[in-house]
Amino acid sequence: MRIAVAGSIATDHLMSFPGRFADQLIPDQLHTVSLSFLVDELEIRRGGVAANICFGMGLLGRRPILVGAVGDDFADYRSWLERHGVDTASVHVSDLHHTARFLCTTDQDHNQIASFYTGAMSEARQIELQPIADRVGGLDLVLIGADDPDAMIRHTEECRARGIPFAADPSQQLARMDDVRDLIDGAAYLFTNEYEKSLCEQKTGWTSEEVLSRVGVRVTTLGPKGVRIDRAGEPSLHVDAAPEVKKVEPTGVGDAFRAGFLTALSWDLSLERAAQAGNLLAAHALEVAGPQEYTLHGEHFVERFADAYGKDAAGEVAQHL
């Protein structure tokens, strides 16, 4: 199963605030907010939703195709991704802009305030998917993640026109974009968290049932409560989160979930197993600082899978690792 992941490729600047954002926000003064948080730590990490997802899939033994735009400062990052199993041959390199930057501050309750500088990402709209499909012998699924908005629309429209199944994962761009219907209509999979689910319905004007009638599978991540999977005419499937060893940094946890989920799909496993694999990979990402700093050891991964979801479930995964 050949899976391409289109979306942002960025450097993450991750900061930790030793207090609570909620304590600094005055309800009747939110229209004039002017705050500066003195942070204790700064970590500069590799990130971007598409790169994060591809990294996780590479660790699980797949070779995902990364689709996005970067600056000429990408050489070291490219080498890192290639070394971890990612196909970067279709990444567009800008002659004008730096690779995108994500700046995020996390408080002690794991709430986050972030900004994103697009940089070279604005050129992702120039990328055509068909030459990529021709290079790798066809595409079975394209995940369209948060990216330049015009690129997201272009990739979605091209997938529809060429009959390529796609997964809609608008995430952070939901807040900015108004043409959300165009992003999700006809998607084989729709990924959101619980807040984004409500925002998606608000922006489309569709009810939950109407959204389900327009997508194949709706995947809603619920944080520590796990994930819910919905399909039209089918009962909801809830999968509990995998226990984590410790909570360090939530940035990239959702991307790790998608990596595990998509990889299990490529192994032709059930939606339940896919959600379990996603949850366990997300737990790995939560236990380190930075979205591409976790490591995987096959035997230990299977042991944790068995502890979380049972030996039979772990056995289905083990044969693919």
Task: Indicate which residues carry an active-site annotation.
Answer: 255
* Number of other residues whose CB lies within 10 A of the CB of residue 19: 12
Distance CA 86, CA 193 (A): 26
Facing residues of 87 across strands?
A: 65
* Number of other residues whose CB lies within 10 A of the CB of residue 214: 16
198: CB partners within 8 A, 6+ apart: none
Closest CA to 70 of 139, 126, 27, 140: 126
Token pair 């899976």 is found at: 3
Closest CA to 229 of 256, 265, 241, 221: 221
Closest CA to 143 of 213, 71, 52: 52
Contact 200, 174 (CB under 8 A): yes
Contact 104, 44 (CB under 8 A): no
Contact 3, 87 (CB under 8 A): no
Contact 269, 226 (CB under 8 A): no
3-state secondary structure of 164: coil
**Element spanning 156, H or E:** helix 149-162
Q: Calculate the CA 145 to chain-centre distance.
A: 7
